[in-house]
A and B are shown apart, each in its own frame.
Chain A
Amino acid sequence: MKYTEEHEWLRPEDDVIVVGITEHAAEQLGDIVFVELPEVGTEVTKDDEVVVIESVKAASDILAPIDGEIVEVNEALVDNPGMVNDDPTGDAWFFKIKPSDASQMDDYMSEEEYNDLIS
């Protein structure tokens, strides 16, 4: 598992990367009330805004952590955005991306480094 400074977690699963937000991020955002997901098949570039989430406080974006193609999205979040608060690192993943350059993953933090960042 890798982590970004944008408080995303990245979990390799076969040849794709599963992306979600960390518990720390979910807690800071507060209760999530709205999630807008990208379309499957979208080609994205690192730092593209791919997901919009709104909490009771404000709207935020989730950025594409790497270049690649969105191959699956978690439709369950659309009807039940509160899942992001309940299980941010498990059931509430946002999308799966097929990397076009897997080496971009090397730039990201380990769990230990991420924990240092937020402590």
Chain B
Amino acid sequence: MADALKKTPLHALHQELGARMVPFAGYEMPVQFALGVMKEHLHTRTAAGLFDVSHMGQVILRGDSYEAVALAVESLVPVDVAGLGLGRQRYGFFTAPDGGLLDDLMLANRGDHLFMVVNAACKAADIANMTANLPGVTVSEVTDRALLALQGPAAGEVLEGFAPATATMRFMDVITTDLLGVPCWISRSGYTGEDGFEISVPAEKAEVLARALLDDERVESIGLGARDSLRLEAGLCLYGHDIDTTTSPVEAGLNWAIQKVRRTGGARAGGFPGADRILAELAEGPSRLRVGLLPEGRAPMREGTPLFAAAEGGEGLGTVTSGAFGPTLGAPMSMGYVPRALAAPGTELSGEVRGKRLPARVAALPFVPANFKR
């Protein structure tokens, strides 16, 4: 028998707000609220959206010092963890010995510890991986805090009203400050391409905080449906779809997240699982690449859509890994993998939808420009 779905600390509030709940990564989560996916998406891009992301794993790593923990983590993550400044956050990923991706994550230098946010579906495996492979590091999942995301161009002004200290935060800064008298861990980051924050709040205070944020007329509750279309417009990968154990970070176009110090010739080059393949792909280029695709016409090319070089004949090139209609873009959009020779923006390809090959053009990512507070 399947395990019962877990509930986040905001479950009752979601139900009260008329959310449609769905199973997601073992949790019962709101896929949409009364506004519906399209309006929730547009509201986030024009004002502010509040997302419950409490299903994600919050993990604290402690050791002799931040640096000691960071150097240990670098044996599993090919990014510059040790060089991350105090109170700064960075994107990264766990790699496998064959160079595939085990999960993607955010990590932050919190002074006396390292704070990590990992995907819900991967958190048990991530914690097991770290517990087994990081000697001298204590790995603990934070289970008594909710995680909220406040995203959108109005997010800064809204949160400033609760905590003046957030006003001077730049993109990827992390601080601890009180919201409604409760100490919260706040990062200026998110998964929408907009300015915004992720707020780790004690579970028993999460609903009070969410209600207070929603009392601001600029803020609406947003479900997982709009979270997906927002991140896709922003060109961001969804683990388990656009990246997984079969994709390397270089194929996925995540080279920017592998800093020079971890590359060939860097002071701490390699030393992570799959380094041989990943460093070789960085030097020579991968055989295939994740690209953005703009279908002509209005038919979305969804996940699994086979891609071809021509309108007729030929072998399949790869498949779409995410596809949807972009409410802000006003058109369908997809991401998928194609051979490197066909990855240049403007390349004309075909995607097979319901047995018909329809034209699609390779497009630069993001589909909608990011709006971060640098």
Contact = CB atoms under 8 A, between A and B. Distances in A.
A59 B301 CA distance: 10
Interface in A38-57: 52, 54, 56-57
B191 interface: no
Contact of A56 (B229, B299, B354): B229
Nearest to A31: B38
Interface string A53-74: 0101111000000000000000
B306 to A, nearest CB: 15
Interface in B317-374: 324-325, 327, 332, 354
Given A30-B32, A34-B332, A56 B324 contact: yes
A56 B302 contact: no
A83 to B, nearest CB: 13
A81 B225 contact: no
A54 B37 contact: no
A78 B299 CA distance: 10
A36 interface: yes
B300 interface: yes
B225 A57 contact: yes
If over half of B's interface residues share one DSSP class (helix, strand or loop), that class is named, otherwise mixed; here it is mixed
Contacts of B302: 58-59
B240 interface: no
A19 interface: no
Interface string B21-39: 0000000000010001111
A33 interface: yes
Contacts of B7: none
A94 to B, nearest CB: 16
A109 to B, nearest CB: 26
Contacts of B332: 33-34
Contacts of A30: 32, 36-38, 225
A34 B300 contact: yes
A25 B134 CA distance: 52
Please classify how large the interface on chain B is, using the bins under 10, 10 to 19, 20 to 34, 35 or more: 10 to 19
Contacts of A58: 302
A61 to B, nearest CB: 9
A30 B36 CA distance: 7
A58 B298 CA distance: 14
Given A52-B354, A56-B225, A78-B298, A34 B325 contact: yes
A50 B5 CA distance: 38
Contacts of B32: 30
A6 to B, nearest CB: 18
Given A59-B302, A78-B298, A33 B36 contact: no
Contacts of A34: 298-300, 325, 332
A56 B42 CA distance: 13
B233 to A, nearest CB: 13
A56 B225 CA distance: 8
B37 A57 contact: yes
Contacts of B354: 52, 59
Interface of A: 30-31, 33-34, 36, 52, 54, 56-59, 78, 81-82, 85
Given A33-B38, A59-B302, A59-B354, 18 more contacts: A30-B38, A30-B225, A31-B37, A33-B300, A33-B325, A33-B332, A34-B298, A34-B299, A34-B300, A34-B325, A34-B332, A52-B354, A54-B299, A56-B324, A56-B327, A59-B300, A78-B298, A82-B38
11 contacts: A30-B225, A31-B36, A33-B38, A36-B299, A52-B299, A54-B299, A56-B38, A56-B229, A56-B325, A57-B225, A58-B302
